[in-house]
Amino acid sequence: MKSLCACAVLLCACTLLVLGSVSVAQAQVESPKPIFETDNAAPDFSATSAAKASLPDLLAVADSFGKTGMTSAPHLNTALLAEPASADPAMPSPKPRFVYGGRDDYRWQLGLSLTLVRFNSSVFNANAIGIKTSVAYFLNEWLGVEGNITAAFSLATIGTDHVKVVIYGGGPKVAWRQRRWEPWLHGIFGGAHLQPQTSAGRRSSYAIEAGGGADYRWNPHLSFRAEGNYLRTGFFSQSQNNFQISGGAVLHF
């Protein structure tokens, strides 16, 4: 009887030992599960509505921040480039060649015109057509020095020869320089020469030319001119009072 009781006690002790060992083993197997679930807290949190609501907002903020950064960088760059350079001072503007009332202009004028010379004398009368060339240089905005020469040919004859006349000289020129119109006056003192030789006397004479005209400025280098002059000569030991009209173009340089 005592032996049966001892066996039962031993059996209960073994059973408790086995159950304790199984519990300890199960606890050792299941103990990493909380750590695993703690590591995976982010996936569980991403499944919530709060994460879904805040994630697009964060992306939108990041996107807007990226765009702002991209656009603001060139702006700062441009501001830096726009700063004035202080290394070298600005070069002074060149002085104008010649100024008339605030306009930059030229001192030299070269004129080329068609001309008609009306010549009356006691020996013959003639209307001579030719070319007149003039050169003027301005000393200031209103006063210049001019030289000109006229060569004209007439159909009138003395004997069998056609009449030819050459007039030349120089003198002062006064002009009122405007933007478009340039009226002017001049006085030319020089000489004249006639062809052919006549029995009335010498073929050379003094010549005085007084008159004026107006130039219309087409562009900075070109004007159109019209002029008229009183012409006095002393051929054949007499005085002749004649006139000359001309029209043509003027080059400025």
User: What are the tens digits of pLDDT across the range 219-246?
Assistant: 989 999 999 999 999 988 889 999 999 9
pTM of the shown model:
0.59
| Cβ atoms < 10 Å from Cβ of 182 | 20
User: What are the tens digits of pLDDT across the range 169-180?
Assistant: 999 999 998 888
Least confident of 10-24, 34-48, 207-221: 34-48
The Cα–Cα gap between 60 and 23 comes to 52
Asked if residue 111 lies in contact with residue 248, where contact means CB atoms within 8 angstroms, the answer is: yes
Looking at the chain, the whole-number percentage of residues with pLDDT higher than 70 is 56
Backbone angles phi, psi at 68, to 5 degrees: -65, -40
**Pairing relation of β-strands 222-233 and 125-138?**
unpaired
- Measure CA 155 to chain center: 54
User: What are the tens digits of pLDDT across the range 69-88?
Assistant: 444 444 545 444 555 555 55
From residue 53, give the alpha-carbon distance in Å to each of 40, 62, 65, 159, 227: 20, 15, 19, 122, 95
pLDDT exceeds cutoff 90 at 94: no
Backbone angles phi, psi at 139, to 5 degrees: -80, -30
End-to-end CA distance of the chain: 152
